[in-house]
Structure formats: C-alpha cells, structure tokens
C-alpha cells in the first residue's frame, strides 16, 4: 500500500484558523489563530487539556465543522484542497480519500447493526468505482493489515464482538481503506490499557512509515506523543502556546504551560508524588478477601453455555488508612473484583470479611447497615450520575437512604461535601451536563463521601481525564484519605497513576493476582513476566527512550 504522489508544497497548511461555535444568542471562540504545516510522511502531535481546542483543529482538517453553525475563519489546505470552502465531490474526496479520521470512541463511530467488513466496504464504494466483491476484498485486506487475525471471518463480526483495542484497529482499517495521504487520530488510545495503547501507537508508526502518509495525533497525554511524532503543537484556550520538534518541546519547553503539563504527567519512576500516602505499619485489617471467585452465566443462541470465570481465587487484604492499587489489562477482572469488595456483586465462591465479619453471603437486608461504610467511585461519571437530577440531589441520595429526613441538614451536608471536593455549594441545582469531566468526577467522589465511609473503591476514576485534571483528582483523593483516614482501593490500567497513589499493588491477569507487594518492590523489582511486560509498555517522556522501546517491542513481535 502506498500513498499517491503529492502536490508540490506541504501536505497540510493551516493559516490563522479561527473556529467560533454558536452558544445561545452569541458565539464562543474555540480556536483562535492557530497555524502550522505538515509535510508528507511527518507526524504532528497536538496536545493540551480538555477544552483547549485540539480536537476542534483536527476536525477542521476534514471540514467536519461544516453545517454545524460554526463560523470558520482562516485557511486549511490538505493536499491542495481547501477544507473551509470545498463543496460536493471535492469535499467528499477530501473526507476519506485524501484525509481520514480515527475517532476516539469506536463504539459510537461504528454502526452496531452492521458487520465491520460491510462498513469498511461501504467507505471504499463511496470513494472508488468498484464492485461489492472488490470492496469486500479491500475490507478484508486492510483488516488483515492492522492486525485483525483471521480477517476474512472477523470481517463478518459486529463491533460488540471485538475488544476495545480491536475496535480501534477496525477504525484504523476503515481510515486506511482508500489510501489517504493524511491520517488524523483523535485521542485514539484514551481509556485503553498500556499494552494495547502501545500496540496502537506502534501500528500507526508502521503505517506511516509504510505508506508515506502524514499523521496528526491529538492527545492530552504527552507520554503518548514522545515516541510517536516528529513535532508537537501545544494548545491552551484555543491558542497555540508552543510549537516545535518533539525533542525540544518535551526536553526544554519554553512556556510555563508546557512545563506544567509535563510536571502533571505521572511517572512509574517517581514514587514520591503528590497524593501518595503512607500506610501505618500498625493499621488494622479492614477488609480481607480469601480465594474470592466470581462466575458469570452465558447463553448461546440455543442453550446455556459454560460460565465465564471473571475472578478466579483472589486473596488480598486492605488495611485502615492505606491505598491498595489494582492494575491489569482490560478483561483481567479488576472491576468485577472491585464490585465484589463493596458487595455490589455477590461472590460465587470464597470468603469476604469486613472488620472481621463474613459479608460475602449476606443478603441485602443484612448488608444495608454496612452500605454506608463501603462506597464506590465509578469510572464514568456521565453514566453514573442521573442526567435528569441535579448534582445536589445525587449527592444527597446516600443520606436519604441512610435515613436522614431533615432537608435543611441534608442541604447543609451536601453543600459541605461539594466544597470539600473543590466545588461551589451554590451549584446544588445544576445538572451533570453543565460540568466538565473532572468536575463530574468530583461530584462522584462527594456522593461516595456522603455516608462517611471507611473504605472507597475507585474504579478507573481518572482514565478519561487530561493529565492536569487527573493530577487534581488524584491529589484530592490523597488529601481526603489523609484527613478522613479512608482506606482506598484504586483500580486502574495506568501503572504510573497507580504508583503515584498506592502503598501496595496487586497485579491481575485473567482473573488472578499474579504479583502483589509494596509499590516500590513491585515497580522496581517485578518478578512476574506479565508485570515486566506492563511496565515496559508504559509511555515515557524521553523521545529517544520511547523510540528505543518501540524498536524493542517490534523486534520482539517479529522474533
């Protein structure tokens, strides 16, 4: 596969781009005077916090703001086509033919009702005069190229039959289908575990080297761009605050904002980080799991099939005031284990003791008095908060469930909790959609704190947040733990974040704990090959080291 010859001049040329979005009776400026160029075969990373305008710039490269009511100013040219003014066939040729987008969330970008091969084939037929058979053959070809095993058979599968990483590969295959000159990847590795993230980034690098296509990689994670791009554009409040070679921007940043982003990136080699806590050697065992097991029944088209074992014989303890980190890839059983620890799921087997009492088999009536002591902060505050209820009411729910009936005391307590997590008490009557992702996660933490728990299980609480917001939430959890004496179980696929917050760490794979111990020992002297593999896949900020690690992974894969 190879890209078509390019016209003279840069592959991408953006000059003084301005994007204003309609809000109420006016407009809000999302991008303000951004400009850059990209040559064929080069990769540009666009980084910044949520709301910085980076995705808005990326969408502008394909003219995706057309028809949205947005006001576009400046010039955007991709392979000689003006994305601001192109119409009809020229615009259609730009989208998919000259440039293609890899979106952040493959579940929303792929149609759940159609086989992935049919969806890719449809893209081919839109841009090329080929038969259905030829389009299907092309779909299988690109699925095979992006590493989908048994591509001909899997092309007939629907999106829900793939893992998150495999769905992202499907989106990349779709983007490649018409051999575009430019790939635009918008947060393509957000919420993926570190090994899958490394695989996706390695794949994008291979494809760029093979096809000569340009790459624009949008991300909030500076570690992602270190080994993946040639140049970096740092954005803040719609403006470009720094732009240059990746080695210079990450190695000797000029701007305070860039330095602040770099300092917020958690690192596996930096155990002394904000938010980390120190467990007391004499802390009493609060929670103890022994040989904990959970199976899920499955059903085929015609009859029940063998159950799936999600957690298989896990034993661990959590002491008062400490943080136990649980890490592992997607599907390792982390979330299922976390839900069992607070008895949102009943164990299939094993024993679960809380403060010396076996709670593993207790019914709901017996559990009710303990519910206020065992709480959970969920991964996705958007789905865990009721969009039709104010955040104040959501935080108040645990108080009412616990029997509190005095509305004045409830309102006062909720206001105190909102302020405790860094929000304004006067925001009681606002709805979840009025808040940013980090603010919604703070609401989730306030709700968990409401019944004054002793233990909180945090399930991927920062996985989709930008690095500065992530650091703020982690620091908040550490502060709350120190002030309130909470025990935390911190579940995440991000090993750097887990080291930052944890006293002890348990590493899960296929439902089992393969290694556990104090955080320094597990990270500095891992014993299990799986733990070593996870640590080797963690992004690093040094471009030279990131490149060396990629070469080592590729050499290992081909050995």
Query: pTM value?
Result: 0.83
The four Cα atoms 542, 544, 547, 549 give a dihedral, to 10 degrees, of -70
Give tens-digit pLDDT for 204-236.
898 898 889 999 999 988 888 998 999 999 999
- Residue 173 pLDDT > 80, yes or no? yes
Task: Give me the mean pLDDT over the 289-309 stretch.
Answer: 79
- Residue 559 pLDDT > 70, yes or no? no
- Check the CA dihedral 92-98-103-106 and report its sign: positive
- Give, in degrees to the nearest 5, the angle at Cα 549 between 246 and 523: 110
For residue 319, give every residue at least 6 positions away whose Cβ sits within 8 Å of its Cβ, in sequence order, or none: 279, 280, 283, 284, 285, 286, 487
31 forms beta bridges with 19
Counting every residue, how long is the chain?
A: 559
CB 254 within 8 A of CB 242: yes
- Residue 276 pLDDT > 70, yes or no? no
Dist. CA 97–CA 473, nearest whole Å: 42
Q: What is the pLDDT of residue 525?
A: 94
Give tens-digit pLDDT for 328-381.
988 889 999 999 999 999 999 999 999 999 998 888 888 888 888 999 998 777
Neighbouring CB atoms inside 10 A of 106's CB total: 22
Give tens-digit pLDDT for 388-400.
999 999 999 989 9
Task: Give me the mean pLDDT over the 102-106 stretch.
Answer: 82
pLDDT-derived band at 7 (thresholds 50, 70, 90) equals low
Tokens of 484: 């309130």
- Residue 13 pLDDT > 90, yes or no? yes
Is there a common fold for 12-98+182-264 and 267-373+453-540? Answer: yes
314 forms beta bridges with 292
pLDDT-derived band at 303 (thresholds 50, 70, 90) equals low
For residue 158, give every residue at least 6 positions away whose Cβ sits within 8 Å of its Cβ, in sequence order, or none: 112, 113, 114, 115, 116
For residue 345, give every residue at least 6 positions away whose Cβ sits within 8 Å of its Cβ, in sequence order, or none: 294, 336, 339
The four Cα atoms 118, 124, 126, 130 give a dihedral, to 10 degrees, of -100
Q: What is the pLDDT of residue 531?
A: 94
Question: Phi first, then psi: what are they for 427, rounded to 5°?
Answer: -85, 10
CB 510 within 8 A of CB 308: no
- Residue 2 pLDDT > 50, yes or no? no
In the chain, domain spans: 12-98+182-264, 113-179, 267-373+453-540, 387-449
Q: What is the pLDDT of residue 551?
A: 84
**Residue 426: which H helix or E strand, with range?**
none
Q: How many CA atoms lie within 13 A of 523 on its CB side?
A: 24
CATH number of 267-373+453-540: 3.40.50.300
> Hey, which of 37-46, 59-68, 193-202, 456-465 has the most confident mean pLDDT?
37-46
Tokens of 450: 């409401």
- Check the CA dihedral 68-72-77-81 and report its sign: positive
Q: What is the pLDDT of residue 78?
A: 95
pLDDT-derived band at 494 (thresholds 50, 70, 90) equals confident
Chain position carrying tokens 């009492």: 357
- Residue 272 pLDDT > 70, yes or no? no
518 forms beta bridges with 504
Percent of the chain beyond pLDDT 90?
56
- Whole-number Cα distances in Å, 207 to 59, 122, 434: 21, 22, 40
Dist. CA 303–CA 553, nearest whole Å: 42
What is the domain class of 12-98+182-264 according to CATH?
Answer: alpha beta
């Amino acid at each position: 596969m190879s890209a078509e010859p390019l016209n003279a001049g840069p592959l991408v040329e953006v000059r003084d781009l301005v994007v204003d979005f309609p809000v109420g009776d006016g407009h809000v400026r999302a991008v303000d005077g951004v400009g850059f160029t990209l040559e064929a075969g080069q990769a540009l990373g666009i980084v910044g916090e949520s709301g910085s305008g980076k995705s808005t710039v990326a969408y502008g490269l394909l003219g995706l703001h057309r028809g949205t009511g947005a006001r576009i100013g400046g010039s955007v040219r991709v392979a000689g086509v003006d994305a601001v003014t192109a119409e009809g066939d020229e615009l259609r040729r730009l989208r998919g033919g000259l440039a293609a987008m890899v979106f952040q969330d493959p579940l929303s970008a792929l149609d759940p009702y159609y086989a992935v091969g049919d969806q890719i084939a449809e893209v081919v037929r839109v841009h090329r005069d080929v038969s259905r058979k030829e389009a299907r053959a092309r779909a299988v070809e690109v699925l095979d190229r992006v590493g989908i095993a048994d591509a001909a058979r899997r092309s007939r599968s629907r999106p829900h039959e793939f893992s998150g990483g495999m769905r992202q590969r499907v989106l990349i295959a779709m983007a490649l289908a018409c051999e575009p000159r430019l790939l635009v990847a918008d947060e393509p590795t957000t919420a993926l575990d570190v090994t899958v993230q490394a695989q996706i980034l390695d794949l994008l690098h291979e494809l760029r080297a093979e096809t000569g296509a340009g790459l624009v990689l949008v991300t909030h994670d500076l570690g992602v761009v270190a080994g993946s791009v040639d140049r970096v554009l740092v954005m803040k409040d719609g403006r470009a605050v720094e732009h240059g070679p990746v080695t210079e921007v990450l190695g000797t940043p000029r701007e305070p904002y860039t330095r602040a982003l770099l300092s917020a990136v958690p690192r596996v080699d930096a155990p002394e980080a904000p938010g980390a806590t120190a467990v007391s050697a004499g802390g009493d065992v609060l929670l103890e799991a022994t040989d904990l097991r959970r199976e899920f029944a499955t059903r085929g088209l015609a009859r029940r099939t063998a159950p799936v074992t999600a957690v298989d014989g896990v034993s661990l303890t959590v002491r008062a005031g400490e943080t136990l980190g649980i890490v592992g890839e997607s599907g390792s059983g982390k979330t299922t284990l976390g839900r069992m620890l607070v008895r949102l799921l009943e164990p299939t087997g094993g024993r679960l003791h809380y403060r010396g009492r076996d709670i593993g088999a207790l019914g709901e009536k017996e559990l009710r008095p303990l519910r206020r002591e065992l709480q959970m902060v969920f991964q996705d505050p958007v789905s865990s908060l009721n969009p039709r209820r104010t955040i104040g009411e959501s935080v108040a729910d645990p108080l009412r469930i616990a029997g509190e009936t005095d509305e004045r005391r409830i309102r006062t307590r909720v206001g105190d909790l909102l302020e405790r997590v860094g929000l304004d008490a006067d925001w009681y009557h606002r709805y979840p959609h009025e808040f940013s992702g980090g603010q919604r996660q703070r609401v989730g933490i306030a709700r968990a704190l409401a019944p004054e728990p002793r233990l909180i299980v945090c399930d991927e609480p920062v996985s989709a947040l930008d690095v500065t917001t992530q650091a703020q939430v982690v620091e908040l959890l550490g502060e709350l733990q120190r002030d309130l004496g909470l025990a935390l179980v911190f579940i995440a696929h991000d090993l750097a974040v887990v080291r930052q917050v944890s006293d002890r760490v348990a590493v899960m794979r296929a439902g089992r704990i393969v290694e556990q111990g104090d955080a320094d020992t597990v990270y500095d002297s891992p014993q299990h090959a799986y733990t070593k593999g996870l640590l080797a896949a963690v992004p690093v900020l040094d471009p030279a080291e990131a490149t060396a690690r990629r070469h080592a992974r590729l050499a290992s894969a081909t050995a």
